[in-house]
Amino acid sequence: MMTYMLLVMLPGMVLSGLASMMVKRTFAKYENVGTQSNMTGAQAAKLMLERQGVTDCKIEAVSGRLSDHYDPRVKTLRLSEPVFNATSISAIGVACHEAGHALQHAQGYPWLKMRSTLVPVTNISSKMSMPIIMVGGLLMSLVPVFGTPVLLLGCALFAVAVVFSVVTLPVEWDASARAKTAMVDAGIVTPQEMGGASNVLNAAFLTYLAAAIASILTLIYYLQRSGVLRMLLRGRH
């Protein structure tokens, strides 16, 4: 069991750690590299949105580092302090990526709609899944007949979070693609500066990809613990 856990879960944990380290290093690398436009992150995001006809999105600063996000409930783009007032390639890349989410919302991007629908369900299932899985795992060793259905319930709840992480991938990729196009078209960055901005956006996407892979591997592990994976594999033979 320990060997299976290491083979399935450890790669996901390592991948997540490497992706997180990469995005921090990439952001730091371009944090001190300016652009010819000398725009701040907030100015770049505003220009990107206005050029697409989006004028009802608020842009405000929030505390923290890499805490940038778009809140579709109140049409507000929240940029962290290192992004809001900074004029670096890193700041502009992050700000324009978040502006990409605002464009998705304004234009009814279906994957964003799906992710927004999953948010409240995922918030609940994420809090409940691990305690139920732990109880199920304990019961499996004591009373397997009761432990199996409890563990399966925990897996089902955790599967919602897995679906959310997978749905997040096209949402994040599309937001970056919109940002890459808009940054050059609007004159926010030059074609020569675009390489650095792309590196920032690509590194950020890797964190979402790593999170999705890690969550899938974790679900596989618990399905194996419950015996469902074993039954499915036997059914194919």
Q: Is residue 109 part of a domain?
A: yes
Q: Is residue 232 part of a domain?
A: no
Please report the pLDDT score of residue 145 as a whole number.
83
Q: Is residue 125 part of a domain?
A: yes
Side chain identity at residue 22, one-letter code:
M
Q: Is residue 235 part of a domain?
A: no
- Report the C-alpha gap between 164 and 185 in whole angstroms: 32
Q: Is residue 234 part of a domain?
A: no
State how beta strands 76-80 and 69-71 pair: antiparallel
- How many domains does the chain contain in total? 1
- Report the C-alpha gap between 36 and 221 in whole angstroms: 50
Domain range holding 210?
2-227
Q: Is residue 236 part of a domain?
A: no
Cα-based distances in Å from 40 to 44, 96, 156, 223: 6, 11, 44, 48
- Report the C-alpha gap between 234 and 226 in whole angstroms: 14
Q: Tell me what the pLDDT averaged over the chain comes to.
A: 89
Give the residue with greater pLDDT, 100 vs 81.
100
Q: Is residue 38 part of a domain?
A: yes
Ordered DSSP codes for 6-49: HHHHHHHHHHHHHHHHHHHHHHHHHTT-B-SS---HHHHHHHHH
User: pLDDT (tens digit, 9 = 90+) per residue, 139-175?
Assistant: 888 887 888 889 889 999 999 999 999 999 999 999 9
Active-site amino acid positions: 98
Q: Tell me what percent of the residues of the chain surpass a pLDDT of 70.
A: 92
Q: Is residue 49 part of a domain?
A: yes
Largest distance between two CA atoms of the chain: 67
Please determine, for residue 229, whether its predicted confidence score (pLDDT) is greater than 70.
no
Phi, psi of 62 (to 5 degrees): -130, 155
Residue reference for tokens 């380290």: 21
State how beta strands 58-62 and 76-80 pair: parallel
Phi, psi of 200 (to 5 degrees): -65, -45
User: pLDDT (tens digit, 9 = 90+) per residue, 99-133?
Assistant: 999 999 999 999 999 999 999 999 999 999 999 98
Residue reference for tokens 């948010």: 119
